[in-house]
C-alpha cells in the first residue's frame, strides 16, 4: 500500500512596511506617508519645487511610495521646511522598517549624470552619522540654497538612525551634482531595505539588535 505524505502548508505573510507620520511645530506642519515596498509613486505638496524634484528621485529609484505634505514658513526661507521634511521622513523610515530583521542592512550606489558622478553608502546601523562631501560649484539652483541639503540629510540621519556617506566624486554642474546624489541615495536605500531571503527572521548584526 502506497503512503502519501502531504507537506505541511506554510503561508508566509510579509508584514507591510508602511508608516504615516505627522510632525507639527510652530515652523512647519508635515504629513509623511511611506511604503517601503512600493512602486515609486510619489505625491508632494511642499512648496519647494527643487526639493520635490529631488524627493521624486528617491521614490523612483528606491521603488518607495512617498506622499509628503508640508506647510512651512516659506515667507522666511526654505530652511525649516527642508530640514523638517528630512526629520519627518527619517521618522517614517524608522516606523516602517520595524525591527530590521531579514533586511540586507547595507546599501551603496554610484550614479552618473553627464559629467557628474556621486557615491552614496548607507548602513541601517541604529547609529546616526553623516559624512557629506559635495563641493557645490554654485550656491543656488533656481533660487534654492544648496547648503540646505546638508540639513535635509542630517535630519534624516538623526531620525532614521542610519550611517550615511555621501560623496560627489566629480561634476561642475550643480544641478547634476545634486541629482546624482539623490538618485544614488534612492538606489542605496533600495538595496539596504531589501528583504534578504537568506537572512529571513534574523538580525543582520552579531549584536542581535540594531
Mean pLDDT computed over 52-77? 98
Q: Is 72 helix (H, G, I), strand (E, B) or coil?
A: strand
Mean pLDDT of the chain: 94
Residue 104 has pLDDT above 90, yes or no: yes
Q: What is the pTM of this model?
A: 0.92
Cross-strand pairs, 133 = 167
What integer is the mean pLDDT of 36-59? Answer: 98
Computed on alpha carbons and rounded to an integer, the radius of gyration of the chain in Å comes to: 19
Residues 82-111 have a mean pLDDT of 98
Query: Over the range 114-144, which residues count as b (16 or more CB within 10 Å of their CB) and which as e?
Result: eebbbbbbbbbbeebebebebebeeeebeeb
Given a cut of 50, whether residue 5 has pLDDT beyond it is no
Q: What confidence score (pLDDT) does residue 7 get?
A: 44
Starting from the edge strand earliest in sequence, which strands make up the sheet with 129-133, in order?
Answer: 106-113, 116-123, 163-170, 129-133
Q: What is the pLDDT of residue 11?
A: 40
pLDDT band, very low/low/confident/very high, at 14 (cuts 50, 70, 90):
low
* Residue position matching grid coordinates 542592512: 105
3 state SS of 169:
strand
Q: Are 134 and 193 in contact (CB under 8 A)?
A: no
What is the structure's pLDDT at 15?
81
Amino acid at each position: 500500500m502506497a503512503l502519501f505524505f502531504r507537506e505541511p502548508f506554510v503561508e508566509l505573510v510579509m508584514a507591510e512596511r508602511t508608516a504615516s507620520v505627522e510632525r507639527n511645530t510652530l515652523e512647519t506642519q508635515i504629513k509623511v506617508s511611506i511604503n517601503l515596498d512600493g512602486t515609486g509613486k510619489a505625491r508632494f505638496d511642499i512648496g519647494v519645487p527643487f526639493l520635490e524634484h529631488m524627493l521624486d528621485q528617491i521614490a523612483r529609484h528606491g521603488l518607495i511610495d512617498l506622499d509628503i505634505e508640508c506647510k512651512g514658513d516659506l515667507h522666511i526661507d526654505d530652511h525649516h521646511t527642508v530640514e523638517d521634511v528630512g526629520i519627518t521622513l527619517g521618522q517614517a523610515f524608522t516606523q516602517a522598517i520595524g525591527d530590521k530583521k531579514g533586511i540586507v542592512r547595507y546599501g551603496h550606489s554610484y550614479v552618473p549624470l553627464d559629467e557628474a558622478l556621486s557615491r552614496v553608502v548607507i548602513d541601517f546601523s541604529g547609529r546616526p552619522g553623516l559624512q557629506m562631501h559635495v563641493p557645490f560649484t554654485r550656491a543656488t539652483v533656481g533660487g534654492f540654497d544648496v547648503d540646505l541639503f546638508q540639513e535635509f540629510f542630517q535630519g534624516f540621519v538623526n531620525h532614521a538612525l542610519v550611517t550615511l556617506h555621501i560623496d560627489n566624486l566629480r561634476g561642475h554642474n550643480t544641478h547634476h551634482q545634486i541629482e546624482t546624489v539623490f538618485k544614488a541615495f534612492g538606489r542605496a536605500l533600495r538595496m539596504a531595505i531589501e528583504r534578504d531571503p537568506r537572512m529571513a527572521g534574523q538580525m543582520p548584526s552579531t549584536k542581535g539588535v540594531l
